[in-house]
Structure 1
Amino acid sequence: MWIDEPADGRHQDAGTLPHLVVFTGSGISVESGIKTFRASDGLWEEHSVEQVATFDGFRADPERVLTFYNQRRAQICRAQPNAAHKALAALEQDCFNVSIITQNIDDLHERAGSRSVLHLHGEILKARSSVDASLRYPVSGDIALGDVCDKGSQLRPDVVWFGESVPLFEQACALASQADFFLVVGTSLAVMPAASLLSYIGVDTPCALIDPDADALSPPGVRAINTTAGEGVPALVERWRRQKNFEPG
Structure 2
Amino acid sequence: MRVTVLSGAGMSAESGVPTFRDVETGLWAKVDPYEISSSDGWRRHPEKVWAWYLWRHYMMKSVAPNDGHRAVAAWHDGADVHVVTQNVDDLHERAGSRQVYHLHGSLFSFRCDRCGLAYHGALPAMPEPVDTVEPPMCACGGLIRPDVVWFGEQLPTAAWDRSVEAVSRADVAIVVGTSSIVYPAAGLPELALAEGIPVIEVNPEETPLSDRVTVSLRETSATALPGLLQRLPALLG
TM-score bracket relative to the smaller structure: 0.7 to 0.9
How does 1:144-159 map onto structure 2 within 5 Å? 145-159=134-148
Q: CA-to-partner distance for each residue in 1:91-134, whole Å, 9 max, x for gaps?
A: 101x200000000000000000000000000010111111133x
State the alpha-carbon separation in 1 of the partners of residues 143 and 219 from structure 2: 43
RMSD: 2.3
Equivalent residue, structure 1, for 2:151: 162
Matched, 1:214 2:206: yes
Equivalent residue, structure 1, for 2:179: 188
Moved more, 41-50 or 83-92: 41-50
Q: Which of 81, 89, 92 is equivalent to 1:109?
A: 92
Equivalent residue, structure 2, for 1:11: none
Q: Which AA in structure 1 matches 2:163? A: A
State the alpha-carbon separation in 1 of the partners of residues 211 and 106 from structure 2: 28
Task: Determine helix, strand or coil for the equivalent of 1:194.
Answer: coil
State the alpha-carbon separation in 1 of the partners of residues 205 and 15 from structure 2: 19
* C-alpha displacement of 1:43: 6.4
Moved more, 18-27 or 168-177: 168-177
* TM-score with structure 2 setting the length: 0.87
Task: Determine helix, strand or coil for the equivalent of 1:98.
Answer: strand
Note if contact 2:50-2:135 (Cα within 8 Å) is conserved in structure 1: no
Equivalent residue, structure 2, for 1:5: none
Q: CA-to-partner distance for each residue in 1:162-194, whole Å, 9 max, x for gaps?
A: 100002323311211011000000000111111
Equivalent residue, structure 1, for 2:130: none
Q: Which AA in structure 2 matches 1:174? A: E
State the alpha-carbon separation in 2 of the partners of residues 247 and 149 from structure 1: 52
Matched, 1:198 2:180: no
* TM-score with structure 1 setting the length: 0.83
Sequence identity (%)? 37
Matched, 1:22 2:5: yes
Q: Which AA in structure 2 matches 1:204? A: G
State the alpha-carbon separation in 1 of the partners of residues 71 and 230 from structure 2: 8
| Unaligned 5+ runs, structure 2 | 126-132
State the alpha-carbon separation in 2 of the partners of residues 63 and 228 from structure 1: 37
From the superposition, tell whether residues 83 and 175 of structure 1 become closer, same or farther in structure 2 (CA, over 3 Å).
same
| Unaligned 5+ runs, structure 1 | 1-17
State the alpha-carbon separation in 2 of the partners of residues 34 and 146 from structure 1: 24
State the alpha-carbon separation in 2 of the partners of residues 193 and 127 from structure 1: 23
Q: Which of 171, 176, 192 is equivalent to 2:167?
A: 176
State the alpha-carbon separation in 1 of the partners of residues 204 and 103 from structure 2: 23
Q: Which AA in structure 2 matches 1:203? A: E
